[in-house]
């Protein structure tokens, strides 16, 4: 913030302090507040209240029917002592890593290639976006069907035409997570491709022309023009990817229910299990405790990430 | 400067928004009992995925009930108890007003006030004081209040596809009677019909543990016991459970007779069985009703026998459901719900005309009549009911004779009674590990379950 900005800001603050209620109303303050009220009400009821309630519940033992009792840090201790807690972190980190290796570059590559194509770019973009249009549950259950591990399964039939033996896919602890990542990448890539394509339209054609004059080929243009110009978007999609992968739930829940042998139990699935696995309820305290830990972890990661990358994106 | 008209518009907009929200929030809890004595109840007697014919049969019974009780309107809702969805529905208040829960959960639910006290309504029934007391114990509180009517008790059996048996050259009238024979038949089937799993068990959604406990009981083992101090001890790592898992491992890895898909819950194994992908699997004795309604299984192709019994203390795992009522329902709705339970579930067991009428309705819509079950009252009443509906029976009784002739000679063993579903869920990954990892260390996996579950069970044991 420059010295001029600070001066203007302090003048504005003094101006605000001097305003009487009548001036504030005449200046549109009341109208703004009234227009804001529905939003505040909706956010308050559906977002902030549940968050506060969850924080409180993480220190309680409750089945949502009987009166809750405060148990201090017991829910957090129970979560830390649960052997599945470590497993779920490892599994989620493994998913995040695989999703980063495969899921992060693929949309970028696809978007850059599409932007280089002169004809039918819209068609390619539509095709890339098509998986996003399919409802997630339908897509996941379809992939589960495709992953049928018998020799007559859809993917195994395809592999057989290349003389590759049937694969167990999600029926094997080692292959289940990569199989889930494959589906998740397919399902999510379309959205990111569209973001990159939109960002690419903002890259000045002059830069490419100048680099061509300097003798740059396609790879040099991508490396020295496209990627630096997309830096801000890339940094945002990176952190969104981290947050998204840390909250992976639908795929392991619907495809494997955490199996085989807990190989795909993720943090969110564990939260779900705490809350709903015991058919008479009672694990809501542990569930909210773990939710809180995850939220705090992601908030810290986000803040650290933005602090580290602030100078990169500004440059 | 704002014009008064604009200020009024802003205020009106804000008020309308809040009013709209208030309207939304108050719309959820609709009152169903009206001043003229009419009452509407929601009943969870219709399983999801019910075929049109079964739906029609159900609809006809609703009409018959409403004719008998003109002041009651019945609104059916699709409902099927599963461990994971039930809790969400319970916490969210989205359960129908009449629903069913497993034997194992009833005591906890009544202690938590999550199901209604229907003592007066049940005692007012003509047979209210004649109900089987040992069976009623599952739905009766320590003070003697009644919270539900037990219904549909089952014993675990071995369902098998008679058509597949024939195709594999096996005699469907001579189902296996030992675990060795089950393995041999499964191997024969998978060798002759490569895309068919000769035998499989459920593995997911707490059903893996449920079936593992059933196969443990059939070998004389127990996964929970009370020690001399009255403390409940988790004993998943017992010789019978180890033997059950070792048998399963051999079937999978040596005989290659368990197919290729190992993440199966109650719904998906029923679907696979209905699709002819699985030849044999352990099931509740009453599963045929659902198999016909949702999975297009023909009773003529279906066979049921008892699970093989071996070793001292061996028996058949039994369980069942308890028909209960929501405590959120009004008194009038609770009374109506008990009338529905009486009409829909109990009368066909004790009233000849109701039994025959029910059987005819089911028969007319192609639903199975004569599905093996266990007595709700006593064996005499059970046999009498069967004799009433004999003309309507469309389940070839020869196909289930192996079960019916042996089950009453077997010891029946109730499910573990503390944290049952959690214990089952903890056992799921063990079954999955055995089926997906050739070198799974069975004893170590079971010991880990003991370690994981003992503190939970100890905590809840002291609550009892």
What are the φ and ψ backbone dihedral angles of B306, each rounded to 5 degrees? -80, 160
CA–CA min distance B112, chain A (Å): 6
User: Quick one: what percent of chain A has pLDDT higher than 70?
Assistant: 91
Question: Which of the residue ranges A211-215, B34-38, B209-213, B337-341 would you say has the lowest mean pLDDT?
Answer: B34-38
Query: Does residue B400 have a pLDDT over 80?
Result: yes
The answer to whether B417 faces chain A, any CB pair under 8 Å, is no
Query: Does residue A80 have a pLDDT over 60?
Result: yes
The answer to whether B107 faces chain A, any CB pair under 8 Å, is no
CA–CA min distance B429, chain A (Å): 4
The answer to whether A152 faces chain B, any CB pair under 8 Å, is yes
Collapsed DSSP state (helix, strand, coil) of residue A167: coil
pLDDT computed for residue B205 by the predictor: 87
Q: CA–CA separation, B305 vs A143, rounded Å?
A: 36
Query: Does residue A313 have a pLDDT over 50?
Result: yes
Collapsed DSSP state (helix, strand, coil) of residue B284: strand
* Residue B282 and residue B63 in contact, taking contact as beta carbons nearer than 8 Å: no
Q: CA–CA separation, B59 vs B49, rounded Å?
A: 15
Q: CA–CA separation, B159 vs B287, rounded Å?
A: 8
How many other C-beta atoms can be found within 10 angstroms of the C-beta atom of residue A42? 12
- In the stretch 19-38 of chain A, residues with CB closer than 8 A to chain B read 25-26, 28, 30-31, 34-35, 37-38
Average pLDDT over residues B239-250: 98
Query: Does residue B11 have a pLDDT over 60?
Result: no
Query: Does residue B258 have a pLDDT over 60?
Result: yes
Query: Does residue A163 have a pLDDT over 50?
Result: yes
Q: With bands split at pLDDT 50, 70 and 90, how would you rate the model's confidence at B6? A: low
The answer to whether B295 faces chain A, any CB pair under 8 Å, is no
CA angle A190, A196, A197 (to 5 degrees): 85
Does A31 contact B425 at a Cβ distance shorter than 8 Å?
Answer: no
Q: With bands split at pLDDT 50, 70 and 90, how would you rate the model's confidence at A314? A: low
- Residue B375: CB partners within 8 Å, gap ≥ 6? B132, B153, B381, B382
Average pLDDT over residues A49-61: 94
Which burial class, exposed, middle or buried, applies to B12 when counting CB atoms under 10 A from its CB (0-12, 13-18, 19+)? exposed
Pick among A261, A271, A287 to test the B interface (most B CBs inside 10 A) = A261
Q: With bands split at pLDDT 50, 70 and 90, how would you rate the model's confidence at B48? A: confident
User: Quick one: what percent of chain A has pLDDT higher than 90?
Assistant: 48
- In the stretch 111-130 of chain B, residues with CB closer than 8 A to chain A read 112-114
Q: Which string of b and e fits B429-463 if b means at least 16 CB within 10 Å?
A: bbbbbbbbbeebebeebbebbbebbbebbeebbee
Q: CA–CA separation, B324 vs B146, rounded Å?
A: 10
* Residue A281 and residue B93 in contact, taking contact as beta carbons nearer than 8 Å: no
CA distances (Å), origin B190, targets B87, B126, B159, B303: 39, 53, 17, 18
A96 alpha carbon, distance to own chain's centre: 10
* Residue B296 and residue B395 in contact, taking contact as beta carbons nearer than 8 Å: no
The answer to whether B437 faces chain A, any CB pair under 8 Å, is yes
Q: CA–CA separation, B429 vs B418, rounded Å?
A: 20
Query: Does residue B20 have a pLDDT over 50?
Result: no
User: Quick one: what percent of chain B has pLDDT higher than 90?
Assistant: 57
Tens of pLDDT, residues A102-147: 888 888 888 888 887 778 888 888 888 899 899 999 999 999 999 9
Tens of pLDDT, residues B299-334: 999 999 999 999 889 999 988 899 999 988 999 999
* B166 or A121, which is more confident: B166
Average pLDDT over residues B90-94: 80
Average pLDDT over residues B168-176: 97
Query: Does residue B53 have a pLDDT over 80?
Result: no
Domains and CATH numbers, chain B: 39-153+319-382 (3.40.190.10), 156-317+400-463 (3.40.190.10)
DSSP structure class, residue B390: G
First to last CA, chain A: 17
Q: CA–CA separation, A129 vs A192, rounded Å?
A: 9
Average pLDDT over residues B186-206: 95
pLDDT computed for residue B23 by the predictor: 38
Measure CB to CB from residue B90 to each of A41, A258, A281 and give the nearest one.
A281
pLDDT computed for residue B18 by the predictor: 40
Average pLDDT over residues B38-50: 84
CA distances (Å), origin B94, targets A169, B41, B44, B79, B131: 36, 13, 11, 11, 30
pLDDT computed for residue B1 by the predictor: 41
Residue of B nearest to A64 (CA): B91
Pick the closest to residue A95 from A292, A239, A211, A267 (CA basis). Answer: A267
CA–CA min distance B7, chain A (Å): 7
The answer to whether A47 faces chain B, any CB pair under 8 Å, is no
pLDDT computed for residue B138 by the predictor: 85
Does B440 contact A35 at a Cβ distance shorter than 8 Å?
Answer: no
How many other C-beta atoms can be found within 10 angstroms of the C-beta atom of residue A12? 10
pLDDT computed for residue B464 by the predictor: 44
Q: With bands split at pLDDT 50, 70 and 90, how would you rate the model's confidence at B19? A: very low
Boundaries of every domain in chain A: 75-314
Average pLDDT over residues B37-62: 82
What are the φ and ψ backbone dihedral angles of B444, each rounded to 5 degrees? -65, -40
- In the stretch 182-211 of chain A, residues with CB closer than 8 A to chain B read none
Measure CB to CB from residue A260 to each of B85, B421, B436 and give the nearest one.
B436
The answer to whether B266 faces chain A, any CB pair under 8 Å, is no
For the structural domain made of A75-314, what CATH number should be given? 1.10.3720.10
pLDDT computed for residue A280 by the predictor: 64
- Residue B60: CB partners within 8 Å, gap ≥ 6? B361, B365
* Residue B427 and residue B224 in contact, taking contact as beta carbons nearer than 8 Å: no
Q: A279 to chain B: which residues are within 8 Å by CB?
A: 83-84, 86-87, 102, 105, 206, 421
- In the stretch 94-123 of chain A, residues with CB closer than 8 A to chain B read none
pLDDT computed for residue B132 by the predictor: 73
Q: CA–CA separation, B439 vs B452, rounded Å?
A: 22
Query: Does residue A99 have a pLDDT over 70?
Result: yes
Q: From its phi and psi, is residue B292 left (phi > 0), alpha (psi between -120 and 50) or beta?
A: alpha
A169 alpha carbon, distance to own chain's centre: 24
Average pLDDT over residues A212-218: 86
What are the φ and ψ backbone dihedral angles of B391, each rounded to 5 degrees? -65, -25
Tens of pLDDT, residues B112-159: 788 999 999 998 888 877 777 777 888 998 889 999 998 878 999 999
Q: What is the CA radius of gyration of chain A?
A: 25
Does B261 contact A148 at a Cβ distance shorter than 8 Å?
Answer: yes
Measure CB to CB from residue A278 to each of B194, B422, B429 and give the nearest one.
B422
User: Quick one: what percent of chain B has pLDDT higher than 70?
Assistant: 91
* Residue A97 and residue A177 in contact, taking contact as beta carbons nearer than 8 Å: no
Does A278 contact B203 at a Cβ distance shorter than 8 Å?
Answer: no
Pick the closest to residue B339 from B126, B110, B88 (CA basis). Answer: B126
Average pLDDT over residues A63-73: 85
Query: Does residue B60 have a pLDDT over 90?
Result: no
pLDDT computed for residue B35 by the predictor: 54
Average pLDDT over residues B283-291: 93
Q: From its phi and psi, is residue A313 left (phi > 0), alpha (psi between -120 and 50) or beta?
A: alpha
Residue of B nearest to A82 (CA): B452
Q: What is the mean pLDDT of chain B?
A: 87
Q: With bands split at pLDDT 50, 70 and 90, how would you rate the model's confidence at A281? A: low
Q: How many residues does chain A have?
A: 315
Q: CA–CA separation, B223 vs B241, rounded Å?
A: 8
């Amino acid at each position: 913030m420059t010295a001029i900005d600070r001066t203007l800001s302090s003048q504005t603050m003094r101006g605000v302090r001097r305003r009487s209620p009548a001036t504030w109303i005449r200046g549109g303050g009341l109208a703004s507040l009234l227009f804001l009220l529905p939003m505040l009400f909706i956010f308050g009821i559906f977002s902030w209240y549940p968050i506060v309630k969850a924080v409180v519940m993480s220190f309680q033992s409750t089945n949502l029917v009987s009166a809750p009792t405060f148990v201090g840090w017991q829910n957090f201790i129970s979560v830390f002592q649960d052997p599945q807690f470590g497993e779920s972190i490892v599994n989620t980190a493994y998913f995040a890593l695989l999703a980063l290796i495969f899921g992060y570059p693929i949309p970028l590559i696809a978007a850059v290639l599409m932007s280089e194509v002169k004809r039918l770019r819209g068609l390619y973009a539509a095709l890339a976006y098509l998986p996003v249009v399919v409802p997630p549950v339908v897509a996941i259950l379809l992939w589960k069907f495709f992953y049928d591990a018998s020799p007559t399964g859809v993917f195994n039939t395809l592999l057989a035409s290349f003389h590759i033996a049937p694969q167990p896919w999600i029926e094997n602890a080692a292959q289940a997570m990569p199989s889930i990542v494959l589906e998740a990448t397919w399902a999510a890539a379309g959205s990111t491709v569209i973001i990159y394509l939109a960002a690419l339209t903002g890259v000045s054609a002059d830069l490419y022309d100048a680099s061509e004059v300097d003798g740059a080929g396609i790879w040099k243009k991508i490396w020295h023009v496209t990627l630096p110009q997309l830096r801000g978007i890339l940094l945002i999609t990176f952190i969104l990817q981290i947050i998204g992968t840390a909250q992976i739930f639908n795929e392991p829940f619907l495809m494997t229910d955490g199996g085989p042998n807990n190989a795909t139990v993720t943090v969110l699935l564990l939260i779900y299990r705490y809350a709903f696995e015991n058919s008479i309820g009672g694990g809501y305290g542990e569930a909210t405790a773990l939710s809180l830990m995850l939220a705090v972890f992601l908030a810290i990661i986000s803040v650290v990430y933005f602090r580290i990358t602030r100078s990169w994106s500004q440059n | 400067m704002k014009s008064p008209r604009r200020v009024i518009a802003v205020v009106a907009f804000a008020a309308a928004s809040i009013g709209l929200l208030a309207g939304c929030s108050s719309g959820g809890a609709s009152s169903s009992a009206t001043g003229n004595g009419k009452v509407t109840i929601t009943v969870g007697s219709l399983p999801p995925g019910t075929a049109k014919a079964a739906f029609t049969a159900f609809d006809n019974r609703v009409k018959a009930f409403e004719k008998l009780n003109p002041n009651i309107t019945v609104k059916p809702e699709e409902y099927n108890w599963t461990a994971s969805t039930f809790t969400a529905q319970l916490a969210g208040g989205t359960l129908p007003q009449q629903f069913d829960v497993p034997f194992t959960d009833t005591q906890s639910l009544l202690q938590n006030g999550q199901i209604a006290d229907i003592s007066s309504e049940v005692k007012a029934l003509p047979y209210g004081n004649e109900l089987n007391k040992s069976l009623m114990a599952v739905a009766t509180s320590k003070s003697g209040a009644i919270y539900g009517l037990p219904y549909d008790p089952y014993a675990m059996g071995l369902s098998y596809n008679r058509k597949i048996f024939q195709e594999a050259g096996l005699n469907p009238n001579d189902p296996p009677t030992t675990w060795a024979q089950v393995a041999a038949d499964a191997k024969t089937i998978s060798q002759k019909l490569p895309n068919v799993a000769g035998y499989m068990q459920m593995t997911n959604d707490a059903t893996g543990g449920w079936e593992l406990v059933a196969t443990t009981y059939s070998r004389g083992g127990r996964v929970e016991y009370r020690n001399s101090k009255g403390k409940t001890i988790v004993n998943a790592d017992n010789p019978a459970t180890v033997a059950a898992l070792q048998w399963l491992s051999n079937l999978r890895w040596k005989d290659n007779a368990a197919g290729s898909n190992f993440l199966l819950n109650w719904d998906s194994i029923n679907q696979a069985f209905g699709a002819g992908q699985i030849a044999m699997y352990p099931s509740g004795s009453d599963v045929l009703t659902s198999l016909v309604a949702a999975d297009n299984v023909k009773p003529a192709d279906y066979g049921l026998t008892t699970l093989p019994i071996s070793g001292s203390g061996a028996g058949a795992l039994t369980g069942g459901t308890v028909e209960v009522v929501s405590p959120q329902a009004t008194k009038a709705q609770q009374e109506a719900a008990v009338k529905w339970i009486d009409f829909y579930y109990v009368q066909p067991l004790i009233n000849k005309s109701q039994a025959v009428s029910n059987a005819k309705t089911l028969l007319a819509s192609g639903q199975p009549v004569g599905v093996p079950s266990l007595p709700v009252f006593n064996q005499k009443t059970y046999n009498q009911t069967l004799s009433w509906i004999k003309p309507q029976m469309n389940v070839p009784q020869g196909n289930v004779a192996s079960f019916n002739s042996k089950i009453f000679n077997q010891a029946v063993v109730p499910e573990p009674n503390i944290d049952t579903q959690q214990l089952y869920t903890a056992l799921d990954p063990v079954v999955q590990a055995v089926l997906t990892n050739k070198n799974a260390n069975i004893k170590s996996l079971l010991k880990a379950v003991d370690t994981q579950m003992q503190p939970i069970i100890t905590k809840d044991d002291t609550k009892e």
